[in-house]
Amino acid sequence: MDGGGSWNPGFDPGRQVVVPSLTWKRWPGKIDKVILSHPHVDHYGGLIYPLKYLGAKKYLHNGIWPGEIDRERIEKALKRRRASHGTLIKGDVLDFGRGLTLEVLHSENPFCFDKLNDSSLVLRLVWNGIGMALLPGDLEAEGINVLLETRQDLSAEVLIVPHHGSRTSADPELYYQVNPELAVISRGFMNRFGLPHEEVLDIISGSNIEYYDSAVHGEIVISWKDPAGKPVITWARKKIGPQKIPYWH
């Protein structure tokens, strides 16, 4: 789900980060499905290169396309690899077999939100009835409220922190409902938005949640041996605990 992105035209995270990660020690890398949470370039920018050169059986999104130029780039990549595309809405379930499913928890109508972030697909990875991971995209306050009001089961052992750790997504109730053992903050090093926000880190530390930060740990790989087991970090740079916000914040 998602592939990062960059506003620097000289840096393609799909080519320089995503594809090397997917193909390391397993060339040729194979992709079954590619899922985009919402059409912001910092989420789809890193998907175009792998779609073009690795391909995928299907490209799935929330039904909202990027602007004309980037939509054309995605469609050309799909056509090149003869990949199909489709949309996901709340209630859809992707079945990967052996008890592993991906539930779509949000949203029913992505076009009804004032902010594109709130239209993000929210996905819950479930293995034999156990919530493994919750991926909420860039949900902000309105989207989180809508999600919580549905009273769906959000529990998951791993939470991808919404909106890169933005203050607009700092909702303690979400963390309470998910009740994760691990949280992962996906953000750029010394990003201009000052993320993650201190309020988010306070919620994480106050809930006694172990967390990892992509700007500090780089690539983070999480695995499970079985549904009853605990998530294990199988790859990351040196582990660190919760920290104070660096001075540049």
Is the model's pLDDT at 99 over the cut of 80? yes
By mean pLDDT, which of 89-103, 157-171, 211-225 is the weakest?
A: 211-225
DSSP the chain: ------S-TT--HIIIIIHHHHHTTSSSP--SEEE-SS--HHHHTTTHHHHHHT--SEEEE-S----HHHHHHHHHHHHHTT-EEEE--TT-EEEEETTEEEEEEE-S-GGG-SSGGGG--EEEEEETTEEEEEE-TT--HHHHHHHHHTT-----SEEE-GGGG-GGG--HHHHHHH--SEEEE---TT-TT-PSPHHHHHHHHHTT-EEEEHHHH-S-EEE-SSTTS--EEEE-SS-----PPPTT-
By mean pLDDT, which of 69-78, 85-94, 141-150, 239-248 is the weakest?
A: 239-248
pLDDT, averaged across the chain: 91
pTM metric for this prediction: 0.92
Residue 245: band (very low, low, confident or very high) from pLDDT cuts 50, 70, 90: very low
Question: CATH 3.60.15.10 region(s) of the chain?
Answer: 89-249
User: 89-249 sits in which CATH class?
Assistant: alpha beta
**What's the confidence (pLDDT) of residue 207?**
95
**What's the confidence (pLDDT) of residue 105?**
98
Is the model's pLDDT at 25 over the cut of 80? no
**What's the confidence (pLDDT) of residue 238?**
59
Task: State pLDDT tens for residues 168-211.
Answer: 999 999 999 999 999 999 998 888 888 899 999 999 999 999 99
Task: State pLDDT tens for residues 57-96.
Answer: 999 999 999 999 999 999 999 999 999 999 999 999 999 9
